[in-house]
Chains A and B, each alone.
Chain A
Amino acid sequence: MEAEAPPPIGKSWARLYGIVLAFLAVQIVIFYVFTKAFE
C-alpha cells in the first residue's frame, strides 16, 4: 500500500476534511440564524 502524500497545505487530510465539514455546519447555522433574524 502506497503511503498517502500529505496535503499541499495543512497537516493532514483528515484535518482538512474536518475543516470542510465543520465549515458547512457553521454555514448552515449561520443561514438558519440569518433566515430567522430577518423573517
Chain B
Amino acid sequence: MRALDWIVLSAALGFIVVYGLWKGRRNRDLNSYILADREMKWWTVAISIMATQASAITFLSTPGQAYADGMRFIQFYLGLPIAMVILSITAVPIYHRLKVYTAYEYLEGRFDLKTRTLAAGLFLIQRGLSTGITIYAPSLIISVLLGWNIYLTNVVIGVLVIIYTASGGSKAVGWTHFQQMIIILGGMLVALIVAVNSLPKDISFREAAFVAGKMGRLNAIDFSFDVTNRYNFWSGLIGGLFVALSYFGTDQSQVQRYLTGETEAQSRMGLLFNGLVKVPMQFFILFVGAMVFVFYQFITPPLFFNSVETLKIRSSPYAFEFARLEEEHRSVHYEKQISLQGLVRAIRAGGDDNVSKAEARVRTDQTRAAVIKKKAIALFKKNDPAADTSDTNYIFLTFVIRFLPAGLVGLVMAAILSASMSSTASGLSSLASSTAVDVYKRLVTKDASEEHYVRFSKLATVFWGLFAIAFATFANRLGSLIEAVNILGSLFYGTILGIFLLAFYFKRVRGTPAFVGAIIGEIAVLYCFKFTEISFLWYTVVGCVVGVGSALILNAIMPPPSRPESAPAPAPAA
C-alpha cells in the first residue's frame, strides 16, 4: 500500500471510531445501551440490519466464490425476502409488544427458564465463535497479501470495535453502520469499474458477460433438485428461508438491530427494505467476482492466489516440480487466451455452430488449467499435509492490490475493514446484551441499579471482544470463509428456530417437550454434519423439523404437569 492508501484507510477508520464514540456518548440505562432508546427510523434500522449481515467475509470471499464457482451462490439468498415478510407479520409485533431486550426473554414467558437459557446458550456459543471468524477472516487474507502481522491485525480490528461498541452501545453500532455501508458499497463499485475498464480494449462489456457465461460463471439459477448439491434454487429457497428465519428472527445480533426501531412499523419497514435490496446487492458483489474472472482470462493469473503457500512450496524440495507446473500453467493460459479470442470472434459473427466449437476449445483449455491446479494442490499437500489448499478468499484482494490505483486500494481496504467492524460490532453488542440480560440479570444479580447493568454490559462487551480476538488468533484453515461462517451458523440455527416456531405457532406445546425436542433436533443436525453428505443449507431444515416434530410427539405422550412448570416471567422478563 502507498502513502495515499494509508491516508484514506486511516481517515475512514478513524472517522468511524470517533463518530461512534460521539453518537453513543449518552447511555443512562439498559434501554439506551442495548436498544438505542428505541428511537431509530426505518432506514437506519434497514442499513444496520444489512451492515450486520455483510461482514468482511462477504466482500472478500463472495467475489472469489463467483470467480471459482460462478454466481450460483446467489440462490442462498432467495429465501431471505420471504423470511422478511414472515418475520414482519409474526416476530416483530410479539417482540415489540412484550418490550423485550433479547429474543430469548420471550421464551421464558412462553415456556420456561431452562428453554430460555438453552436458546441463549446456543446463541452465545455460535455468535461468540462467529464473531471471532469475522475478525479473523480479513486479518488472514490481509496478512497473507500485504505481509501485515496477522495477530496485530486481529488486535487492531478488535480493539477499534471494542472502543466504540463498549463505550457507545447500540447507538454507536447503529449510526456507524450507516457510514460503513457507504464506504463498503463505494469500494465494491470502484472494484467493478476498474475490473470492467481493465478488460482488453477490443472486448465490450456484453462480450465480457458472454465470456463469463460460456465459462460457467453466470450460472445464477439452477432448478435441478439434489440435496447434495450445495447451491440450487430449492436449497436456496427452502434452506435459505429457514436460515434467514432463524438468523433474522432468533439471532440476537439481528433482533437487537430491529428492536431499536422507534415503533413496530419502523422495525417492520427496516426488515422489508432489507428483503428488497439484499438479493440485488449480493448479485452485484457476485457479478464483480465474475468480471474479475473475465479480467484474469486476458491477463495470466497466478497458479495459486495464496502467496504464503506459494512461497512455502518454492522453498521446499518440490520447488522444481512447482516451477514446471507454473510454466505449464502460463503456456495453457496463453493457449486459452487464443481460444477465447476465437470465442469472442464467433460470438460477434453469430451462428450457433461456430460459437459451440469455439466454446468447446475454451472448455478443453479450462479443463487442462484445472488439472494443472489440482496437481499444484496435490504438491502443496505432499509438502505439508496441513497446507491451506483453498485460494478462493485471496482472489479478490489480489486483484485489488495489483490493479487498483493509489488511493482506491486504501478505499477498498477501508471497505473491507469497515465490513469487518460493522458485523463485529453487532456481534459484540448482542453477545453483551444476552450475557447481561439472559444470564447476569436473570440468574446472578436480579435487583441492581440500571447503572450497574450498563456497567456490566460494557464489561461484557470488552470480554466478548477479547474472546473474539483470542478465537481469531487461534482459528485456522477453514476453507472458504463465507462457507465456514454459514456452516457454523447452520449447526445451531435449526434448533433455535424450532424452539421459536413452537413458541409462536404451537400454543399447546409446553416447556419440557420443547426443551427435549430442541436437544433431539441438535443431535440430528450434528449427525448430518458428521456422518452424511447432506449440504449444510439443509441442516437448519433438519434441526427445525426434527426439533418441532419431537416436541409435538413428546407433548402428546407426556402427561401435563399437575402444576405450572415454572412461573411465567413478567414482560419484560429481564
Contact = CB atoms under 8 A, between A and B. Distances in A.
Given A17-B85, A24-B81, A35 B265 contact: no
Given A5-B265, A20-B85, A35 B218 contact: yes
Contacts of B405: none
Contacts of A8: 41-42, 265-266, 269
B220 A35 contact: yes
A32 B269 CA distance: 28
Contacts of A24: 78, 81-82, 275, 279
B407 interface: no
B218 A38 contact: yes
A23 B81 contact: yes
Interface in B253-299: 263-266, 268-269, 272, 275-276, 279-280, 283
A23 B269 CA distance: 16
B213 A39 contact: yes
Contact of A6 (B212, B265, B275): B265
Nearest to B273: A20
Interface in A1-39: 5-9, 13, 16-17, 19-21, 23-24, 27-28, 31-32, 34-35, 37-39
Contacts of A5: 263-265
Main SS class of interface, B:
helix
Contacts of B265: 5-8
A16 B264 CA distance: 15
Contacts of B81: 20-21, 23-24
B88 interface: yes
Given A8-B42, A17-B272, A35-B219, A27 B280 contact: yes
Contacts of B88: 13, 17
Contacts of A9: 269
B84 interface: yes
B275 A20 contact: yes
Contacts of B223: 32
Interface residues on B, range: 20 to 34
A34 to B, nearest CB: 6
A31 B286 CA distance: 12
A5 B5 CA distance: 48
B529 interface: no
Contact of A20 (B74, B84, B209, B212): B84
Contact of A37 (B213, B275, B276, B279): B213
A18 to B, nearest CB: 9
Nearest to A17: B85
Given A8-B265, A21-B85, A38 B221 contact: no
Contact of A27 (B212, B218, B279): B279
B78 A28 contact: yes
A32 B283 CA distance: 13
Contacts of B266: 8
Interface in B198-224: 209-210, 212-214, 218-223
B289 to A, nearest CB: 15
Nearest to B93: A4
B210 A38 contact: yes
B266 to A, nearest CB: 6
A11 to B, nearest CB: 13
Contact of B214 (A17, A28, A38): A38
Interface in B47-82: 74, 78, 81-82
Between A6, A9, A28, A31, the greatest number of chain B beta carbons within 10 A of the residue's beta carbon is seen for: A31
A31 B85 contact: no
A6 B222 CA distance: 38
A36 to B, nearest CB: 9
Contacts of B41: 8
A13 B213 contact: no
Contacts of B275: 20, 24
A38 B206 CA distance: 9
A20 B273 CA distance: 8
Contacts of B78: 24, 28
Contacts of B233: 28
Contacts of A38: 209-210, 212-214, 218
Contact of B221 (A7, A19, A21, A35): A35
A7 B42 CA distance: 10
Nearest to B86: A17
Given A16-B272, A38-B210, A32 B82 contact: no
Given A23-B81, A24-B78, 6 more contacts: A24-B279, A27-B280, A28-B221, A34-B218, A37-B213, A38-B214
Interface of B: 41-42, 74, 78, 81-82, 84-85, 88-89, 209-210, 212-214, 218-223, 233, 263-266, 268-269, 272, 275-276, 279-280, 283
5 contacts: A5-B263, A16-B272, A20-B276, A31-B220, A35-B220
Interface of A: 5-9, 13, 16-17, 19-21, 23-24, 27-28, 31-32, 34-35, 37-39
| Closest 6 A/B residue pairs (Cβ) | A38-B213, A31-B220, A24-B81, A5-B265, A32-B221, A38-B218
